[in-house]
Structure 1
Amino acid sequence: MLRRRDLVREVLDDDASFRLLCSLAVAAQARNGRENRRIAALVPRGRRDLAPAMARYGELQERHARLLTGLLAACGPEPAEVPPEADHAALLERRGSCPAHVRMRCGQPLSERDVLAHLAHGHAAAARATAWLARLAGHAFVRPGAGEAVREVFRAEREYLAWCREGMLGFARAGHVAAVELVLRENTLAEARAHRDAALAVLARTGHLLGWSMARSVVLEGGVQARYVHERLVARRRAVRLDPLPALPEPEPEPEPGPEPGPRRETARPDPGAGSDAEPGSGAAPGTGTRAPSGDAATTSPGA
């Protein structure tokens, strides 16, 4: 059973694995929220217009950490231990090209280049999170409130991704196109490495919780490694583009109970002309001079 939908259902319906994923998401949201609020206070005067939105997103991320903590109450009294090797946010911060985090800890004011690097850092993380949450948003959760919480976090991450895009496009319109492309490439490559390592750690822990066979774990880990190789090969082209935002999918319909047995009756035949939902089209990223791809960003992610 290696189909993605079946795998997601198996992981999310188990209390132990759901508790692990929820704990990872809580840690990431809380960490990103604190750092966004602290970095907003250090933005230079020439970019102070970005500070209010940055602080607001930080508060929103901390709120989502509390929201997800509430979901953990049904799975156990305490959150699961977050392995350091599975903490995507911490790995990305250590491997990304974002000097704003170093200056933040020292209380030093930021330069405009630091702000640009922070926007690229947030864009790389939010792009991965929205791709992962877009899949989860369409999942039919068996846990009360889980689907609504996932869709709320997805909408906020999508809005944050759009804000990071617009901020970097502002730098590009001001004549810093080369700098925007450089920090995008650096942070995208760093995020791909952090995602691979965190995903492998999460798979190992999840496989232990669910009792997966060695063969199944090897196949899934091979899929993560293959995805990383693919991203490395296309990252040089993809990293300098600002992808269109993913749309919020409709959740899977709950299975309806079968009809009660009774006398057979004539039923109206369905209208053959009924339409179907159109797929959203891809657009072009303004200010970059290239057409934005609509490529998939991730296969599995340890947290938002």
Structure 2
Amino acid sequence: MSTTVTTEGGRRRGGLRSARKTRLRGLPLTLVLAGVAGLSVGPFYWLVVAASHKDSEIFSWPPALLPGDAFGDNVDRLQAKIGLGRVLFNSLLVAGLQTVGALIVALLAGYAFAKFRFRGRTVLFAVLLSTLVVPEQVMLVPLFKMMMSFGLLDTYQAVVLPGLCVPFAIFLMRQSLSGMPDELLDAARVDGAGEFRVLWSVVVPVMRPVLAALSIFLFLGSWNQFVWPLIALRSAEMHTLPVALATLHGMKATTDYGAILAGTAVSTVPMMVLFLVLQRQFISGLLAGATKG
């Protein structure tokens, strides 16, 4: 009996020592990850803190480390100068329509490239991939002339339409759909489902993590877009938030940094909400891609 108790006690002590050694070995990695997390979160924290202070306090030394009480005043001045509610609506509308449209185009095009055999498919896909190396600035003049000839300048369509076809999104969907078994699609067709029913009932549920991850990237790209909306949208009522914030520079002899930082802080809220909503699907999509690779 005593031998059994001694053996169990020794095993318990050995297990504790092993767990302690494992934690000690992982301590350097934990410290490195904590430092990287601090470097990533630090600028955003300073943005929130600075947005809640007056202009005279933003660049003071030592810098303020705790939030102040001027955030409401900064937002009020921002509303008076650019119409914060209006430009937020413009940005949400443009980014939302562009994200949904680009997802639909990417899903349809990726499904066609991955699961259909037609003449010129390889050449067409190669041409599509070649557009990835074309700088966006090269397309500004042709896009401007095209939208001007269509009479779409200073409209939502001028900003949304050029962003509906995203080569990277089509490439990602095509690569993801290539791994889906054809037998799964054939079974649905045998049951009498048409192609759009197969796409909606079979493909979309399987591709949900990829679509969630892709929607975050597409929304982020559209939300932060600056150059093309600056060119295509001429009136202040049509400006998106990045363009409206840029107009605050040079309006007077002094720049209202408090209002600009408050607007920048507000502009991060939709992205944070979208990521929190799609967090589980986003991480699942990343893990699925890593496992497949």
Shared fold, TM over 0.5: no
Higher RCO, 1 vs 2 (CA within 8 Å, ≥6 residues apart)? 2
The structure where helix makes up a greater share of residues is 2
Which one has the largest radius of gyration? 2
Q: TM-score, normalised by structure 2?
A: 0.25
Q: TM-score, normalised by structure 1?
A: 0.24
